[in-house]
C-alpha cells in the first residue's frame, strides 16, 4: 500500500534539504520515513495516512495543555481577527511580561523574542555587553539553539548526527567558548580559580533536555551560582525546555537558585513562536533602547503568538496542574520500566515534572559520557516498534520526551501496553 508519508517525503527532499525544516524530524538517526502530521488534538496527532499516534514530543514541549486546546484556539482566532502583526507595541505584550515576571521571580524585566535561539543568543550578548568580557562557559551535550558561539559540543540534532560542532562556525567565533563537563563541580571550580575574572557568563540547561534528559545535580548548580557571584560572571539558565515544564517556576524554582538571566520559550508560546529572556533590572536595562546592547525583531511579541502563550499560561495555573502532570509522567516512566524489567531488557527511565528520558542502560545517566553509553540500536528498534503500535516518541535517542495534561490514565496504560510488545522484540 502506498503511504502518503512516503510520497510527501520524496517530494519534500526535492525542494528542502533532507526533506525537513529541522534536522531531527528527518528520522535519519532511527531510519525510515518521517511522519507528516496532518492534525492534532489532546494527546494525539494523525499523520498523512490518517494513522493516529499518542504524541510524546508535544511540539518538543509547547503542547503542555494538549494539542488544539479549545481555549488556546479561541484566543488565537480572536487575536488573529484583530490583526496579525503590527510592528508596534500591544497591551498583550505588557500582560505577558507582567505574568512572566510574576511567575519567575528571578525575572524582573523581560524581552519577548520569537525563538529559543534568539533568547539564548541575546542573553549571551547581554552578558558580554554588561561584563565587558569575552569568554563564556557552556557544558558538553547542552544545546542552546543554533547561534554560532553556542554550537560547540552541543546536543540535540548535532549530537544525533555526530557533528557536535557545526561546520560553518568560524574558529574565531568559538575561541571564547569553553566547554566543560556537565555535573563536574571540580572542573568548574578549577576553571573559575584560574580564569574566573575573564568569564562573561555560564549558560546551562538546569535540566538538560537535548542529550536525552539529564538532571543537573543540586551541588553543580549551587557551585555555579556561588562561583558566578564571586567572579562577577552572569549566570544564565536556559529554561527554554524546562521553564513552565518541570514546575510552574521552572527548574530554578525546584532548586531554589536565582540565575541572573533566564531564557524561556516553548510553553510560553503555547505552540506559536514566543520566547523570552529576562532577569535582573540592572542587567536588562543595558538592552537597547535604554542601553548599548542591541537586539530587535519584527515579530517579537507578535499579538497572535502572545495570545496563544497567555491562554496557555492561564491554563497551567489551574489548581493541581503540575501535580497531575508530574504524576502522569511518573506513571509513564514507571510503567515502561516495569514492562522492560518483565521482558528482561536493560532499560531505565526518569522524569522531572512533565519531561522524561528513556535510557537503554542500567542506570539513569548523570553525565554526557554516561548518556552516550546507552544502547542506541535498542532504542531504534524500540522507537519503530512503538511507532507501529501508534506511539510517537522523539525520533532520536538523544532527545527528551514530553507529556501533556491530556495524557490521562487510559493513554498512559495504552502506551505501556504498546511498550510490553515493543520490549518483547528486544528480549
Ligand atoms: N531541536 C529540537 C529538539 N531538541 C527539535 C526541534 C524540531 O525539530 O522541531
Amino acid 153: pLDDT: 82
Distance from Cα 22 to the centre of ligand 1, integer Å: 6
Catalytic residue among 55, 266, 359, 392: 266
Amino acid 162: pLDDT: 63
The share of the chain scoring above pLDDT 90, in percent, equals 91
Mean pLDDT, range 346-358, rounded to an integer: 97
Amino acid 1: pLDDT: 65
180 pLDDT above the threshold of 70: yes
Ligand 1 atom closest to the Cα of residue 399 is 4
Mean pLDDT, range 370-394, rounded to an integer: 95
97 pLDDT above the threshold of 80: yes
Amino acid 154: pLDDT: 79
Question: Does residue 143 carry a catalytic annotation?
Answer: yes
Distance from Cα 394 to the centre of ligand 1, integer Å: 9
Amino acid 161: pLDDT: 65
Q: What is the 3-state secondary structure (H, E, C) of 334-389?
A: HHHHHHHHHHCCCCEEEEECCEEEEECCCCCCCCHHHHHCCCHHHHHHHHHHHHHC
- Rounded to whole angstroms, the Cα distance separating 126 from 83 reads 32
Whether 4-64+319-424 and 70-315 share one fold: the answer is no
Ligand 1 atom closest to the Cα of residue 143 is 4
Q: Hey, which CATH number is domain 4-64+319-424, 3.10.20.600, 3.90.1150.10, 3.40.50.2000, 3.30.499.10? A: 3.90.1150.10
CATH number for the domain formed by residue range(s) 70-315: 3.40.640.10
The share of the chain scoring above pLDDT 70, in percent, equals 99
Catalytic residue among 44, 53, 56, 143: 143
163 pLDDT above the threshold of 90: no
Distance from Cα 156 to the centre of ligand 1, integer Å: 7
Predicted confidence (pLDDT) per residue in 258-298, tens digit: 999 999 999 999 999 999 999 999 999 999 999 999 999 99
Amino acid 427: pLDDT: 83
**Closest C-alpha among 19, 5, 2, 1 to residue 48:** 5
Question: Does residue 266 carry a catalytic annotation?
Answer: yes
Task: Give pTM, 2 decimals.
Answer: 0.96
Ligand 1 atom closest to the Cα of residue 155 is 4
What stretches of 94-154 adopt beta strand conformation (E)?
109-113, 135-139
Mean pLDDT, range 33-54, rounded to an integer: 98
Domain ranges of the chain: 4-64+319-424, 70-315
Question: Which grid coordinates are listed for 251?
Answer: 527548574
Amino acid at each position: 500500500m502506498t503511504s502518503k508519508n512516503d510520497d510527501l517525503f520524496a517530494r519534500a527532499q526535492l525542494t528542502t534539504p533532507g526533506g525537513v525544516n529541522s534536522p531531527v524530524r528527518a528520522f535519519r538517526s532511527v531510519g525510515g520515513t518521517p511522519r507528516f502530521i496532518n492534525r492534532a488534538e489532546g494527546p494525539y496527532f494523525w499523520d498523512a495516512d490518517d494513522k493516529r499516534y499518542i504524541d510524546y514530543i508535544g511540539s518538543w514541549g509547547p503542547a503542555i495543555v494538549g494539542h488544539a486546546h479549545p481555549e488556546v484556539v479561541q484566543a488565537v482566532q480572536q487575536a488573529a481577527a484583530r490583526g496579525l502583526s503590527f510592528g508596534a507595541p500591544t497591551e498583550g505584550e505588557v500582560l505577558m511580561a507582567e505574568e512572566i515576571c510574576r511567575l519567575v521571580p528571578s525575572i524582573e524585566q523581560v524581552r519577548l523574542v520569537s525563538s529559543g535561539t534568539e533568547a539564548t543568543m541575546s542573553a549571551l550578548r547581554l552578558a558580554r555587553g554588561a561584563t565587558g568580557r569575552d569568554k563564556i562557559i557552556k557544558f558538553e551535550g547542552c544545546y542552546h539553539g543554533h547561534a554560532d558561539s553556542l554550537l560547540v559540543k552541543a546536543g540535540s540534532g548535532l549530537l544525533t548526527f555526530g557533528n557536535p560542532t557545526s561546520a560553518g562556525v568560524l574558529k574565531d567565533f568559538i575561541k571564547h567558548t569553553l566547554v566543560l563537563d556537565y555535573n563536574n563541580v571540580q572542573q568548574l571550580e578549577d576553571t573559575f580559580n584560574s580564569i574566573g575574572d575573564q568569564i562573561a557568563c555560564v549558560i546551562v540547561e538546569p535540566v538538560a533536555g537535548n542529550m536525552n534528559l539529564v538532571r543537573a545535580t543540586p551541588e553543580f548548580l549551587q557551585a555555579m551560582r556561588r562561583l558566578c557571584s564571586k567572579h562577577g560572571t552572569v549566570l544564565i539558565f536556559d529554561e527554554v525546555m524546562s521553564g513552565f515544564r518541570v514546575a510552574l517556576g521552572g527548574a530554578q524554582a525546584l532548586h531554589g537558585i536565582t540565575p541572573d538571566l533566564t531564557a524561556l520559550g516553548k510553553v510560553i508560546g503555547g505552540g506559536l513562536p514566543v520566547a523570552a529572556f529576562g532577569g535582573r533590572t540592572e542587567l536588562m536595562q543595558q538592552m537597547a533602547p535604554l542601553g548599548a546592547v542591541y537586539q530587535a525583531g519584527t515579530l517579537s511579541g507578535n499579538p497572535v503568538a502572545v495570545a496563544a502563550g497567555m491562554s496557555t499560561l492561564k491554563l497551567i495555573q489551574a489548581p493541581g496542574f503540575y501535580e497531575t502532570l508530574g504524576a502522569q509522567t511518573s506513571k509513564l516512566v514507571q510503567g515502561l520500566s516495569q514492562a522492560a524489567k518483565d521482558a528482561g531488557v536493560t532499560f531505565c527511565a526518569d522524569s522531572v515534572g512533565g519531561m522524561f528520558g528513556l535510557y537503554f542502560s542500567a542506570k539513569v545517566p548523570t553525565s554526557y559520557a554516561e548518556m552516550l553509553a546507552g544502547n542506541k540500536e535498542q532504542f531504534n528498534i524500540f522507537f519503530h516498534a512503538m511507532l507501529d503500535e501508534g506511539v510517537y516518541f522523539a525520533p532520536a535517542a538523544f532527545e527528551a520526551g514530553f507529556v501533556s495534561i491530556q495524557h490521562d490514565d487510559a493513554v498512559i496504560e495504552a502506551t505501556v501496553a504498546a511498550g510490553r510488545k515493543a520490549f518483547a522484540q528486544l528480549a
